[in-house]
Amino acid sequence: MPIVSFDAMRDAYFRDAEARYNDLVYWSRPSDYLNQTTTPNSTSHYVYANVNLADGPVVFELPPSGGTALYGNLHSAWQVPVEDFGPAGIDKGLGGKFLLTPPGYVGPAPAGMRTIDMPTRNGYFLLRLTPRSSQPRSVAQANGLIKQLRLYSLADVSNPRAQRHIDMSGKLFDGIAAMDAGFYDRLARILGEEAPDRRDMVMRGMLASLGIEPGKPFAPATARRQALDRAAAQAKSEMIAMVLTRRAPWWPGSQWGTSAGLVDIGKAGFTYEQDGALRLDDRARTFFFAFAMPRHLGAATFYLTQTADSEGQALCGDETYTLHVPADVPAADFWAINVYDLETSGFLRGAASVGTDSNRRNLIRNKDGSVDIVFSAKAPAGPEGNWVTLMPGRRWTAMFRLYGPGPPLFDKRWRLPDIVKKPSMLRVAAQPEGRPL
């Protein structure tokens, strides 16, 4: 699942953005439903870039983050996080020059560069730059920082080509892996690019029985392709079931939770190698639902998910729900809430509003600083900034993100109530405010 998801996003990078390796694909505005990747947020300005080290090392230049909240990661083709960037990352928010080297590379790094050894030939960056508010000046500052990013081959260090920045705002970027027989076509292709790892030897032998072998064409007969189609659909159903059931409540009796074992998996660096085993199911579930996991969980962000309402009933696009966000959210930077399609883990296609956050200028707060949010297919009579769109007939999940999470979250002194179905009228008693909580 992680390497197939990686390949689907790389295809979107080439196809939808018309990018080349080392180009920087970015969103100059917060993402809407056209950003079809797994569980993105609708607050940050994303930067996504693919690298390929088959021809040698690549240089990454990162400016100091300054007044913009910057958080990002570098990942292998297996989506194992290699490094974090930003104030909570390797650069401590000061930026720098980094040399990405391929497996087995031997050679010095140029003066002033820090070496990052990549475990695979392919990899990707995902950076999240979040303005301190939605005011034009803060937005321009974030986009200006993006334009200072550089990615180029070490072979061109004396004369790098002009950096290409490709803005995908308002354009479809369809990077979600289809769960059909094409899943196996992707798998065969990407495994032909990456050298085998010892932990994958047993799986490689099993895949050979399906005709997936490095250096050999993958061309299943019609009957086998039909069987693979059914197998992928079954795997999808099982991963959705794991998303719904393999969760641990964050507070006693709460519907808000984290993936079961996520904290321990995160402490191990999201390698999914624990207790002498490779946790295949947990890894598959994670990368069906998300991508770009941090190397250090909880240092810069923390995510909570909800898949059922306060009564334990599945979240459905035909109903109306509310969420009361208490004041004093323990998030130094900002908090955000987004809704995702349970079937794809992406934004609900066609949704007018995929989420909201504490940076929104048109978000209405109550007198005590709390916020009430409405989830419905039809826009409510209340303020637009407090509405998140549902789609009739589509099951959904919610994710609440805290950027710069603080102690009251981890020692459980602050608690987020559950999403409630068929709420009373939205409470509004304050004026719009552009500052984050």
- CATH number, domain of 305, equals 2.60.120.600
Q: Which two tokens stand for residue 44?
A: 């940050």
Give the model confidence (pLDDT) of 194-205 as tens digits.
Answer: 987 788 888 889
Together in a domain, 6 and 147: yes
Quick one: pLDDT band at residue 94, thresholds 50, 70, 90? very high
Structure tokens at 57: 């090392």
Among 400, 397, 336, 389, CA closest to 44: 336
Of the pLDDT bands very low, low, confident and very high (cuts 50, 70, 90), residue 427 is very low
Six token digits for residue 184: 């196996």
Whole-model pTM?
0.91
State whether 368 and 403 are in the same domain: yes
**Tally of structural domains, the chain:** 3
397: nearest Cα among 331, 336, 317? 317
Q: What is the mean pLDDT of residues 16-41?
A: 97
pLDDT at position 225: 95
352 located within any domain: yes
Domain boundary among 226, 242, 258: 242
pLDDT of residue 202: 87
pLDDT band for 431, please (50, 70, 90 cuts). Answer: very low
Distances (CA, A) of 303 to 39, 107, 327, 366: 11, 39, 18, 24
Same domain, 34 and 166: yes
For 97-113, letters b (16+ CB in 10 Å) and e give bbbbbbeeeeeebeeeb
Task: Give 260's pLDDT tier (boundaries 50, 70, 90).
Answer: confident
Residue that finishes a domain, picked among 224, 242, 260: 242
Beta sheet of 331-341, edge-to-edge order: 247-249, 257-259, 301-306, 396-405, 331-341, 355-357
Is residue 373 a contact partner of residue 322, using CB atoms and an 8 Å limit? Answer: yes
Show the domain range for 405: 298-421
Are 74 and 82 in contact by the 8 Å Cβ rule? The answer is yes
The residue among 19, 87, 37, 161 whose CA lies nearest residue 332 is 87
Residues in contact with 380: Cβ distance below 8 Å, sequence separation at least 6, in sequence order? 320, 374, 387, 426
Residue 131 is predicted with a pLDDT of 85
**Is residue 69 predicted with pLDDT exceeding 90?**
no
Does 434 score more than 50 pLDDT? Answer: no
Are residues 189 and 159 located together in one domain of the fold? no
Alpha-carbon gap, residue 383 to 363, rounded angstroms: 7
Q: Are residues 158 and 20 in the same domain?
A: yes
Are 294 and 104 in contact by the 8 Å Cβ rule? The answer is no
37 shares its domain with 86? yes
Closest CA to 166 of 10, 20, 347, 53: 20
- Three-class secondary structure of residue 385 per DSSP: helix
CATH, residue 87: 2.60.40.1610
* Residue 432 pLDDT exceeds 80: no
Q: What is the DSSP letter of 429?
A: -
10 Å CB burial of residue 251 (0-12, 13-18, 19+) is middle
Task: Reply yes or no on whether the pLDDT at 382 is more than 80.
Answer: no
Q: Are residues 92 and 203 in the same domain?
A: no
Q: Is residue 247 part of a domain?
A: no
Taking alpha carbons only, the member of 40, 51, 225 closest to residue 121 is 51
Instruction: Report the C-alpha gap between 40 and 130 in whole angstroms.
Output: 13
Q: 352 pLDDT exceeds 50? A: yes
182-191 vs 222-245: helix crossing angle, rounded to 10: 90
Cα distance between residue 360 and residue 384, in whole Å = 10
Residues 358/336, Cβ–Cβ less than 8 Å: yes
Q: Would you say residue 251 lies in a domain? A: no
Q: Could you tell me if 435 and 133 are in contact, meaning their C-beta atoms sit under 8 angstroms apart?
A: yes
